A and B are shown apart, each in its own frame.
Chain A
Amino acid sequence: MAVMTILGAINHTLDQQMEKDDSIVLLGEDVGFEGGVFRVTKGLQQKYGKDRSIDTPLAEAAIIGSSIGMAMNGLKPISEMQFSGFMFDGYNQLVSHAARMRNRTRGTYNLPMVVRMPYGGGIRALEHHSESLEVLFAHIPGLKLVIPSTPYDAKGLLASAIADPDPVIFFEPKRLYRAFKQEVPEKDYKVEIGKARVVQKGDDITVVAWGALMPEAIKAIKLLEDQDISVELIDLRTIAPWDRKTVVESVKKTGRFLVVHEAYTSFGPGAEMISVINEQAFLYLEAPPTRLGGADITIPLPKGEHHFIITPEQIADKIKDVVKF
């Protein structure tokens, strides 16, 4: 066992997988020589060479588009969008081609490719560096989207993403990159895509969160310690396809549901989850299933970001509201 941050766990996993599988290549802006602006890929070009850890021209369509070609011709590309807010020029390639190639070619070509990108706010960054764009991927048939919240899951989910025969978007909660450390096994292991993790068992309400908001949800539960509210907390880990079974079973037990995300509220990931809960657990509900999401405003620059960021206090209040409904 080694103690690692999320960032360290991603670096370690890329290293471990590249060592094992020559067909894996990394590509993106600044990922090679300097190891990316966050240093997630640090040292990998030095170890595996320039052919397998590529500093590309500044061009997201080329990064994702060429990844598609690589994946069709025997490689397993792991590309990086420097920030999720800059993926839009590559988005055309993802939606128009990556998501469709298997279906379009009747299964002749599947695309074992991973697109990594840091996402989310709270790091006092410039414009376009703070968005939570889960739904732009989760909405598209043919794509998968995973988001770890711990070093352990970062390793296991990334290993699964790399092994997956279809394109996987791997969101990295950059606010947590170096926020805390955890023991991570040295051995190669996987965390199954599409499987949520019950972080804490409880009877009164099911709270679902993921990524950068997991620690906030945990803090919120601490704030409620003297309130006699028993919370079941679920780390969703995969947004598409999300683990309906675990969540629905939990709601059937607790009768209450709250989903928390930094993504904009309207048409956000919570809307989909609440629909499914209404469809599959309606008769078990003691309160309307509820969401707490980012306000429907452009995420502000740092000096106004506190108006947007979701705090443990807000989450705790929302839990109380749902339980007291």
Chain B
Amino acid sequence: MLTTKFDPLKDKMLQVLDPKGKVVDAKLEPKIDDETLIKMYETMLLGRTADTKALQYQRQGRMLTYAPIKGQEAAQVGVAAALGKEDWFVPAFREMAALLYKGAPLKQLYLYWYGNEEGNHFDPDLKILPISVPIASQINHAAGIAYASKIQKKEEVTVAYVGDGGTSHGEFHEGVNFGAVFNLPMITVIQNNQFAISTPRSVQSKAKNLATKAVGYGIPGIVVDGNDPLAMYIATVEARERALKGDGPTLIEAVTYRLGPHTTSDDPTIYRDEKDFKDAETKDPLIRFKQYLIDKKLWSDEKDEEKIKEFTDYSNKIFKEVEETGLVDLDDVFDYQYETLPPHIEEQRQRAKERGGK
């Protein structure tokens, strides 16, 4: 078991690919078919490109506050690739690449950050929960979904995401503990990107690593190189098998680094150590995964450039659609409050219309 071999109490970290894309231990290398490997990389690249574009749109005053994922693509795609279509995905708010892999259309992800509720209106077959802004609260939803899977004997696993800051929150404890007590088919992934806005990881916990928290809940935990998609993949595969066998939840800490600002309203140069940042750039998940695919003759630099151009055009096209259709109608802000709108709120809607609201 990976979770015993890479014991978080001994501060071990699971890694398959080193920052240069070389396999560190051939026994750990997963057998993933070529098509899936390419899909994983392409999704990371689309995530990166769409992220870069979103920042640009924001700087041009066309997009609202946006939370970038740069540097965290492997921590997301490695997990999403190990899931089945039947599995649930419970995001925090910085998981665009995982959502893309799970099948969420870029248009919706953009719509959300454009300030339109339609961005959370996912096709239910995707089994994606809406973006959850109140930190860590979503873990309890994941526990409830997993509880329902268990007693209804549905063969499915629920994955919840949370940040390193989120692990300090009461709701993190309550949700992970609930999953553990009822032995639920649930995986909690901590994206440890080293910061909660300006607050460094060291302020959140005195523990050496965050996966050790699993010990207190009586469940397996593991620290994974979150910039290594293959390590994230195998850790998730194992956790998922355990969950489906009825052996309960797993806590995965993905060690990564937020290469961008917290959101577009943030200036990370105020608080981050530039040496750490430069070092983190050399551990960029895209660099290592690209090299791995090139070594496997599945990719090339030319192909990379071609794809970046394709994804840039695609992002531009999608964002243009968003801008053309992204305003929210008056009816939209009333229609989803209740199944049946109480009469006094219906009156408020009518009055807003009389005032010329559309």
| B-binding residues in A (CB < 8 A) | 29-30, 33-34, 37, 55-59, 61-62, 85-86, 88-89, 124-129, 265-266, 295-298, 300-305, 307-308, 314
**Residues of chain B contacted by A88 (CB below 8 angstroms):** 134
Which chain B residue has the least Cβ–Cβ distance from A301?
A: B115
**In the complex, what residues of B have CB within 8 A of residue A34's CB?**
197-198, 270-271
* List of B residues within 8 angstroms of A29 by Cβ: 165, 196-197, 199
Contact check: which of B116, B170, B199, B345 meets A89 at CB < 8 Å?
A: B170
Which residues of chain B from 326 to 351 have any CB-CB distance to chain A below 8 Å in the complex?
Answer: 326-330, 332-334, 337, 344-345, 348-349
Q: Which residues of B contact A33 (CB under 8 A)?
A: 198, 271
Cβ of B171 within 8 Å of any chain A Cβ, yes or no, is yes
Tell which of A29, A56, A85, A88 has the most Cβ of chain B within 10 Å.
A29
Say whether A302 contacts B64, CB under 8 Å. yes
Q: Secondary structure at chain A's binding surface: helix, strand, loop or mixed?
A: loop
Chain B interface size, under 10 / 10 to 19 / 20 to 34 / 35 or more:
35 or more
A36 to B92, CA, bound (A): 22
Whole-angstrom distance from the CB of B263 to the nearest CB of chain A?
8
On whether the beta carbons of A124 and B334 are closer than 8 Å, the reply is no
User: How many Å lie between the Cα of A303 and that of B328 in the bound state?
Assistant: 6
Contacts of A129 in B (CB 8 A): 133
Residues of B within 8 A of A297 (CB): 333-334, 337, 345, 348
B333, A304: Cβ atoms under 8 Å? Answer: yes
Given A58-B165, A124-B65, A304-B327, output 10 extra A-B contacts at Cβ < 8 Å. Answer: A29-B165, A33-B198, A37-B265, A58-B135, A58-B166, A58-B196, A128-B134, A295-B352, A304-B117, A304-B333
Are A303 and B337 in contact, CB atoms less than 8 angstroms apart? no
Interface contact A125-B65, CB-CB below 8 Å: yes
B203: chain A residues at CB < 8 Å are 55-57
Contact indicator B333/A89 (Cβ below 8 Å): no
Please report the C-alpha to C-alpha distance between residue A188 and residue B176 in the assembled complex, in whole angstroms: 49
Tell me whether A126 and B65 are in contact (CB under 8 A).
yes
B170 surroundings in chain A (CB, below 8 A): 59, 61, 89
CB atoms of B337 and A298 under 8 A apart: yes
Please, could you name 14 A-B residue pairs with CB atoms under 8 Å apart, sorted by A? A29-B199, A30-B197, A34-B271, A55-B198, A58-B135, A61-B170, A124-B64, A296-B337, A300-B328, A301-B116, A301-B117, A304-B117, A304-B329, A307-B352
Using known A-B contacts A124-B115, A128-B134, A301-B117, determine if residue A55 contacts B328 with beta carbons closer than 8 Å.
Answer: no
B330 CB contacts on chain A under 8 angstroms: 307
